[in-house]
Amino acid sequence: MKNNLYIIGNWKMNKNPTETREFMKEFNKLYEENKNKINSNIFYGIAAPATNLAMLKITSNDCLVVAQNVNENESGSHTGEISINMVKSVGAGAVILGHSERRKMYNETSQKVSQKAQKVIEAGLIPIIAFGETFEEYKMGKTKEVIKKMIKESTKGVNLLQVILAYEPVWAIGTGKTPSLKEIQKICAYIRSITNPNVIIQYGGSVKPKNIGKLMNQKDINGALVGGASLDPKIFIKLLTLNK
């Protein structure tokens, strides 16, 4: 059997603690009912808004609790920010860093991502470092060049065996469009070749029950980072069963 697969839902700015509790109640039931269809090498997690992390921790069993962002400073005058120890104290075991939405809308640079990743590792959490090309870059055949730079700068000073790399083509996020399976596998193999043979590589961007099986079968893909399809427990469970 292939190595472990890490399937993580990214709820983005959706759901409150009550809705989180309701999700987990239904999800836990579905998980039990579908247990025989979920391979033992599949691990799952949910990246929820910071307000919901404690609820996620309390109501879930084996779910990796993931934060969507942290500040690299320990404490102090950073109004509106949240520290690594704060999310850790309510159960987070990992943090997404450098999601394209944060890079684009909140000016999160690769340099910032590497600073944050170092601190996240020091605190004993796993950084999930996201990167990917825009549609223009894809069309111009610049994908490798663009992601190489992003990976290099975002993982500076970081042990690649202590992170998860998440390849998310910007144009595949929330659009229903994806590169072909062959293209995704090729890029993930490339990522492995320029990083470490044992690095964990997730693919993200319009992952749905209908395409997850084939994606997870690709040699160099070790998991998925899933937006829209992670919001409904009935659909999320189908991702974990690989649509069986």
Residue 5 or 225 with smaller CB distance to ligand 13P: 225
Q: How far is the CB of 32 from ligand 13P (least distance, A)?
A: 25
Annotation says 99 is catalytic: yes
Of the residues 19, 32, 99, 108, only one is catalytic, namely 99
Q: Measured between alpha carbons, how far is 18 from 215 in angstroms, rounded to an integer? A: 33
Of the residues 101, 108, 168, 183, only one is catalytic, namely 168
Binding site for ligand 13P (CB under 6 A): 10, 99, 168, 173-174, 204-207, 225-229
Helix or strand or coil: residue 73? coil
Residue 84 or 224 with smaller CB distance to ligand 13P: 224
155 closest CA partner among 114, 202, 195: 114
Q: Measured between alpha carbons, how far is 105 from 136 in angstroms, rounded to an integer? A: 18
Give whole-number Cα distances, 66 to 35, 82, 107, 209, in Å: 22, 14, 21, 22
Annotation says 78 is catalytic: no
Give whole-number Cα distances, 236 to 96, 123, 170, 189, 193, in Å: 19, 29, 22, 26, 31
Q: How far is the CB of 123 from ligand 13P (least distance, A)?
A: 22
Residue 77 or 180 with smaller CB distance to ligand 13P: 180
Residue 125 or 173 with smaller CB distance to ligand 13P: 173
| Tokens (6 digits) for 132 | 């990917």
Q: How far is the CB of 166 from ligand 13P (least distance, A)?
A: 7
Q: How far is the CB of 232 from ligand 13P (least distance, A)?
A: 12
Tell me the catalytic residues.
99, 168
